[in-house]
Copies of this chain bind each other. A is one copy, B any other.
Amino acid sequence: MIISIHTQATSEERAQLMTLLCRITGSQRPITTTMMTEREVIALDGTIIDAQAQTAINEQSAVDSIHTLKTPYQLASRLFQATSTSITIGTTHDCEPVTIGGTASPVIMSGPCAVESREQLISTARAVKEAGAQVLRGGAFKPRTSPYQFQGLGIEGLHMLSEAREVTGLPVISEVMEPDMVDTVAQHVDILQVGARNMQNYPLLMSVGRHARKLPVLLKRGLSSTIDEWLLAAEYIIAAGNPNVILCERGIRSYDPMTRNVLDLTCIPLLHELTHLPVIADPSHSTGRRELVPVMSRAAIAAEADGLIIETHIDPDRALCDGRQSITPAQLEKIVHETRLLTQLMKGDVRVA
């Protein structure tokens, strides 16, 4: 059940509502409000609210309306919020904020798969900034299929990311893998990434959802996730209090070993229909082959992606992780350029020479 709160509810009325809700739900889950683009809401587990409780809630003066769920997801749905959510990245640190979603131009995020060393990171950060990227990516905690693979530099890597932001002014995105690490990672990054393997790690989703500063969350699509499962994962984050969710298509598992995954670009216009959340594409993990990254970046923008996240390495052949799919800063620059041109074409701002 979703409760919409009156825009003019007084703090007294709100407190009264909260008291009622605590009494009704017991202490089963913390009650938080989510400040969405069009309204402020409270999401409750409908299974524990009976008809009498529903009436009592509805009578509260702080309550504007209540919505019983007919769709699997609600807060994430375009039917619930027609306005596209646009999210500003990089407001809490001293960097250049970037807006993603809605009418904003596509945002390019780039950097190495893994933070390998201070030098590698800083030089790559400078190079991707130079190439036109607006957000720096870099993995400090790396989920690796094998326990014997390089697992990332951890907290040390996070400090390097903070330093790279200071040097370049680029906001930073990095992955968080466990609920208890959310606060630590959040001190160093501007977007919390939830990886494909963790798309249905519900304690993690709730933890990034409850983050005090509502830091934007990049939610990668699970390896074989349906659109509904993905939007329900986003719903977990929003229902827990954080409306700043960015979806990222990164390819789905298929039967042909020719590419790492199958990039499902059709999901982008489909998601724009179903949800108000921004959607970006990851042409690096989806294809797994660097020579395909430029073309698939262009195709993703043509499919109306709100941004791209691309692995760039100053020396791809020596990368500790995913070098096979990393491009050089020079290639990134061309992608940035093409993205701008194509965006203008899609806005009707070009003329044939």
Contacts and interface: CB of A to CB of B under 8 A. Distances in A.
Given A273-B291, A296-B265, A345 B341 contact: yes
B143 A200 contact: yes
Given A232-B145, A302-B342, A223 B223 contact: yes
Nearest to A43: B147
A291 B273 CA distance: 9
B223 A203 contact: no
Nearest to A272: B295
Interface string A338-353: 0001101100011111
Interface string A248-263: 0000111111110011
Contacts of A150: 45, 47
A292 to B, nearest CB: 5
Given A255-B253, A295-B303, A239 B147 contact: yes
The complex is assembled from copies of this chain, and their number is 4
A228 interface: yes
A256 B352 CA distance: 40
A24 interface: no
Contacts of A226: 255-258
Nearest to A179: B178
A255 B258 contact: no
B299 A302 contact: yes
B291 A298 contact: no
Nearest to A69: B148
A178 B201 CA distance: 8
A193 interface: no
B145 A45 contact: no
A242 interface: no
Find the residue from A47, A143, A223 having the highest chain B CB count within 10 A.
Answer: A223
Contacts of A353: 344, 349-351
